[in-house]
Structure 1
Amino acid sequence: MKKIAILGLSSLLVLSFLFTSCESVKNANNTQKGAGIGAIAGGVIGGIIGANSGHAAAGAAIGAAIGGGTGALIGNSMDKQAREIDEALPGADVERVGEGIRLVLKEDAVRFDVNKSTLTAQAKANLDKLVPVFKEYGDTNIEIFGYTDNTGKPEYNLTLSQKRAESVKMYLISKGLVSSRFKTSGFGIADPIATNDTPDGRSQNRRVEFAITANQKMIDDAKKKQ
């Protein structure tokens, strides 16, 4: 949680509760955090964090939280999936957020050339490493967020970033993943993870991020196990 905008009295009340609750779960394990964050009105908090932290994937993961015992079971499954993703693709940044996973595929995993949305051979090889994990955990939704560096006009980059997210989606579908699991969004030059003042930094910003969350079947199955 990097920064949260104050949006009026109602937001102040929500944020006051958020800060108190964040303190109580700060030292919890990931499964406990999943249950705790979900119990703190995950959708509302996810929207605030996602809009103001610079990480849409993190906001989407938190916003999908269910909470309670159901959230704890989902969180446990996400813990396992996050570990498997990290083992399959060490070059990726894997972060457990609430009851979901934020996955950042930057230059070491999936990079794009300037003004391009096509996947390189290296990008395809790295996505291939994720396919078995995504298939093993089939009861998840996968939202893909595309980004660009600041080269060119913002309006053009917005379209380009959407195409990058779509390229990743279509490749994963071609490998046997179900299309209904996916949603894509393009954010253009927003939310850079590195400086745009150097070639290396711009390369890192030409990336995709994933928000991996429970689908309805996973939620229903978790409720039955309580």
Structure 2
Amino acid sequence: MRAISIICIITMLVALGCKTSRAFRGGAIGTGTGAVLGGVIGKTTGNTALGAVIGAAVGGAAGAVIGRQMDKQAEEIERQVPNAEVIHKPGEEGIIVNFKSGVLFDFNKTFLTPNSVKSVEELADILNKYPDTDVLIEGHTDSKGSDTYNLELSIKRAQTVSAFLAQKDIDT
């Protein structure tokens, strides 16, 4: 069991340390996690190795499917939402979508501009195709004004986008 755990940890470290697709990373993480859990379950039933193999297969398949869905979602956003930038951070899970500066809000305002409504609607259409996606909204401002004022403005902007997405059946 210890050997299986060490191999799985090494596999996950190699996978996470490389520039790889989310499908590959998800598969590697799922395989490693599944093997360890399967080995633990197998040990209680008297066959650690079989449990590890079954756990690795199930975990790897599930992780690869989830990772591929995330890759597809990122590709769709890049293709269909022209004002959005998809940021890939190596080794991190998730998709970061950054709208280009000045696209969503006018200076010192908390309501979406007419052009930004279209961009956020396009993003919502894609998010609705992937209902298991967890969405986190962050608001940002420029550096003009006090930190306290900008924090309040950032929060209000995030709430505006969140409310807009809620109207499109997206949970944030």
Question: What is the distance in 1 between the residues matched to 2:32 and 2:88?
Answer: 17
Aligned to 1:142: 135
After superposition, the C-alpha distances for 1:78-107 in whole angstroms (9 at most, x for unaligned) are 111111111111331113454421111123
* 1:94 and 1:102 in contact (8 A); partners too: yes
Whichever residue aligns with residue 62 of structure 2, its letter is T
Whichever residue aligns with residue 106 of structure 2, its letter is D
The reply to whether residue 133 of structure 1 matches residue 126 of structure 2 is yes
* 1:75 and 1:100 in contact (8 A); partners too: no
Aligned to 2:162: 169
More relative contact order, 1 or 2 (CA 8 Å, 6+ apart): 1
* 2:78 and 2:86 in contact (8 A); partners too: yes
Counterpart among 95, 108, 111 of residue 115 in structure 1:
108
The reply to whether residue 100 of structure 1 matches residue 61 of structure 2 is no
After superposition, the C-alpha distances for 1:101-150 in whole angstroms (9 at most, x for unaligned) are 11111237x33222111110011011111122111111111100111111
The reply to whether residue 154 of structure 1 matches residue 147 of structure 2 is yes
Between structures 1 and 2, the one with greater helix share = 2
Unaligned segments of structure 1, at least 5 residues: 1-16, 42-66, 183-226
Whichever residue aligns with residue 76 of structure 1, its letter is R
Question: What is the distance in 1 between the residues matched to 2:114 and 2:98?
Answer: 18
Aligned to 2:49: none
Pair member with larger Rg: 2
Q: 1:34 to 1:149 in 2, by over 3 A?
A: farther
Q: 1:32 to 1:150 in 2, by over 3 A?
A: same
The reply to whether residue 30 of structure 1 matches residue 22 of structure 2 is yes
Instruction: Report the count of equivalent residues.
Output: 136
RMSD: 2.9
TM-score (norm 2): 0.66
Whichever residue aligns with residue 123 of structure 1, its letter is S
Give 3-state SS (helix, strand or coil) of 1:94's partner. Answer: strand
After superposition, the C-alpha distances for 1:129-183 in whole angstroms (9 at most, x for unaligned) are 1122111111111100111111100011111101101111111222x314xx20x
Question: What is the distance in 2 between the residues matched to 1:159 and 1:38?
Answer: 40
Aligned to 1:71: 63
Aligned to 1:21: 13
Question: What is the distance in 2 between the residues matched to 1:113 and 1:89?
Answer: 19
Whichever residue aligns with residue 97 of structure 2, its letter is L
Whichever residue aligns with residue 101 of structure 1, its letter is I
Structure 1 residue 71, shift from structure 2 partner: 2.7
Question: What is the distance in 2 between the residues matched to 1:173 and 1:150?
Answer: 29
Question: What is the distance in 2 between the residues matched to 1:170 and 1:155?
Answer: 23
Counterpart among 56, 72, 93 of residue 80 in structure 1:
72
Question: What is the distance in 2 between the residues matched to 1:114 and 1:40?
Answer: 48
Question: What is the distance in 2 between the residues matched to 1:144 and 1:31?
Answer: 24
